[in-house]
Homo-oligomer: A and B are copies of this chain.
């Protein structure tokens, strides 16, 4: 698995250094159903402060990328409904770098459109996609990993960043690494042998014991053209449409071409399936192994662990005015009021106190919140979602 990729491997870069052709793309979509009722359609996960830092996850993502790319090379792709919130939270975002979708079409369309737009700006553009709703601690380690990935991307590879697993997580997918790629970087770059789905506990333990498995953080760094060409191998119609939309984007035809004719009919498919897995199978995917702390904050149990940094014996509390009286040594209280929240004899409880909805569940059942939200969509509680 050490052959060079067929697409653009070994291409000579243009005169501009790779890092100066690098644009960060932040797909800001997804409500985060498992974080309801904190997350809502109008207040999706990426607009929330889930760490108590004072910044939303989106804003924290921007801040993390700012040392790597100037504002003219940070792009956000989001839904029309969230345009105003995004602009408010990111005053540095340039209007041309705010790409809005008329309706959500999954990550291949979102990132693919950004790639098609960047490809038009510069045929040698490199892009990196970084979710707006993940939490990362250790920004220097993050920057170093991204810079390494950019160099591999410039060489024609599709790079991802894998996280050294801190524990046998069953909530994340894993990357199985192959040979070290000393030809791309002195350290930390490996072939991706395959992406593996979220494992069960025993399998996860096995991965950690065997080594060579990293958490898949869903970050992809590639030349825009390489990414699109790879996608076109499995999704040619999607890529053709995206490139047509990009052509029309800065012209008066945008509305007619993009919004009305093409966008509504785009195939919904995750970029993992349209790009990452086929590229890995074809030997075009490399992985930068990184040591920063990362979490996708998928549910309230994740937030609890993040806030207590995994310490046992602590109840996590999130919320400015939160007043909590508790004998609990685990669990989380999320408070959007200044009410007193009193817990008696509850371990691992999750209490989310919002003005119109109160959720009570447990860390063990934190994932099941999504099912409740799904049922509410059907049963008519939609106004609370």
Contacts and interface: CB of A to CB of B under 8 A. Distances in A.
A2 interface: no
Interface in A334-374: 339-346, 349, 351, 353, 355-362, 364-365, 368-369, 371-372
Contacts of A32: none
A209 interface: no
A364 B346 CA distance: 10
Nearest to A350: B344
B358 A37 contact: no
A371 B327 CA distance: 11
Contacts of A362: 344-346
A185 interface: no
| Chain A contact residues: helix, strand, loop or mixed | mixed
B358 A344 contact: no
B368 A344 contact: yes
**Interface range for A:** 20 to 34
Contacts of A346: 360-362, 365
Contacts of A384: 340
Nearest to A376: B325
A381 interface: yes
A351 B351 CA distance: 10
Contacts of A327: 372
Interface of A: 37, 325, 327, 339-346, 349, 351, 353, 355-362, 364-365, 368-369, 371-372, 376, 381, 384
Contacts of A364: 345
Contact of A342 (B37, B325, B340): B37
A360 B342 contact: yes
Nearest to A370: B344
Contacts of A360: 341-344, 346, 349, 351, 360
Most-contacted residue by chain B among A37, A345, A353, A376 (CB, 10 A): A345
B344 A359 contact: yes
A174 B346 CA distance: 31
Contact of A345 (B353, B355, B368, B376): B368
A41 to B, nearest CB: 15
B372 A355 contact: no
A356 B343 CA distance: 14
